[in-house]
Structure 1
């Protein structure tokens, strides 16, 4: 049996193929992003079989809702990773996962990079990992619970025994800090 060929295209070409509903667009989309999106999902869901099911649902949702993607608002991977993350969080919040795997810390997440992945994808993941570590402890704990473990703001308030308004304020402050860190890095690289 021959080797299976992975399809890869520049992002603009891939977007055009998907919009045209071309079969190579679907194949390339999966070939280029399945490993990375699986990584996003598996860090939230943990269970391998369920993560694979969520990944399949993710690609179906991406394909059927591609009309809502606007390349002027962000990169394709960012849009898709948000879909993957939201589906994983929905799965985690389901009755089966409600009370399991809630004690994994941000520091337990190991990043895996694959040689055939898009280079800018690695930058995005490394950015999140490294700059989240730079947040003050109180903000990092909230980001960890909300974005990596799938807690709601109300659940974070209950777990940390802090008023809900304080949780929301700290989460917004942390996101603003991350934006500043990212902007500073982009400007430094541009000079």
Structure 2
């Protein structure tokens, strides 16, 4: 079988639902980098990120029939899977125990720690090419999206951190996501 070089989103979804291995390879080749950017922002460690990426693509493959084209784009659906899987992973007891048991010098001298500690916020967001899109949001909406989707905070945690009512956080995140959808649909 020869590799696929270009697929329209609707064709890709159709082939994935038919369990076409070439479509899965295409999906991985074209989206793994962007999803990895989301994952590494949340898990902050290459070994964890590699595990999570595998889990994400297994979930996509096993649940592609749950994707609803009327609710959004495939990329957005996959980003949500990546974010949720990453958050679940870092909240798992195994990872928390590993982090507690890791000696301080190992954490401080980790090459990943230095590499990501040196990046500013917008550089990290550029892992998935979203800095220009996020830059079109109101500054307070942008911060909420960054906290929720790139830093792994729950809405309750955002509410507590920013000392903002939970209802306000939810309303503003929803408004920001609607604006982002509009911006992405224009592109």
* Both structures adopt the same fold (TM-score exceeding 0.5): yes
The counterpart of 1:111, out of the listed 126, 134, 142, is: 126
Considering fraction of residues, name the structure with more helix.
2
**Paired residue for 1:38?**
36
Aligned mates of 1:186, 1:71 — CA distance in 2: 15
Q: Alpha-carbon deviations, 1:122-159, whole Å to 9, x = none?
A: 5xx24543134x323xx544443322211223333443
Aligned mates of 1:171, 1:5 — CA distance in 2: 43
Residues 5-44 of structure 1: pairs in structure 2 closer than 5 A: 7-44=5-42
Matched-pair contact (CA < 8 Å) for 1:8–1:31: no
**Paired residue for 2:81?**
83
The alignment's C-alpha RMSD in Å is: 3.4
Residues 71-150 of structure 1: pairs in structure 2 closer than 5 A: 71-95=69-93, 96-97=95-96, 106-107=121-122, 109-112=124-127, 122=129, 125-126=130-131, 128-132=133-137, 134-136=138-140, 139-150=141-152
Shift of 1:180: 4.1
Matched-pair contact (CA < 8 Å) for 1:8–1:32: no
Size of the aligned set, in residue pairs, is 168
Matched-pair contact (CA < 8 Å) for 2:134–2:142: no
Aligned mates of 2:21, 2:89 — CA distance in 1: 28
Flag the structure with more relative contact order, 1 or 2, with Cα contacts below 8 A and sequence separation at least 6: 2
Q: Which runs of 5+ in 2 are unaligned?
A: 101-106, 108-112
TM-score computed with the length of structure 2 as normaliser: 0.71
Q: Alpha-carbon deviations, 1:61-82, whole Å to 9, x = none?
A: 0000011011122111111111
CA gap 1:73/1:53 in 2 versus in 1, 3 angstroms: same
SS of aligned partner of 1:65: helix
